[in-house]
Amino acid sequence: MNENQAVTALAALAHPQRLAIFRLLVVEGPAGLPASEIAESVKATPTGASFHLKELDRAGLIRGTRDGRFIRYAVHVEGMRQLLTYLTEDCCRGNPQLCGSTIKKVRSVCK
């Protein structure tokens, strides 16, 4: 991931409903949820949810797949891993073990 991609991903997360959508999809994992359920869960209008989902997809943090007549969205684990790696790769001057258990936990989950 380069700096521009990281900025795009962080900008996509810099909105309360998009952050809520992303966190919801992280919990759901690879199975994801239909757009309508996502909208209902974050109390967004269908149009608003669609806009936010497109921004997260464009940033590489989620992926949408057609499921019959619906679109199902799920976290894009590789995109999330790349962002987390970019943000933490130089932690504590290249010694992530000094940064505590959070960095270790994130790295082990995203491998």
In the chain, domain spans? 3-109
CATH class of 3-109: mainly alpha
Q: Are strands 33-34 and 62-67 parallel, antiparallel or unpaired?
A: unpaired
pLDDT tens per residue across span 48-90: 999 999 999 999 999 999 989 999 999 999 999 999 888 888 7
Percent of the chain with pLDDT over 70: 86
What pLDDT does 27 receive? Answer: 94
- The answer to whether 61 touches 80, Cβ cutoff 8 Å, is yes
Supply φ then ψ for residue 41, to 5 degrees. Answer: -65, -35
Considering the entire predicted model, what is its pTM? 0.84
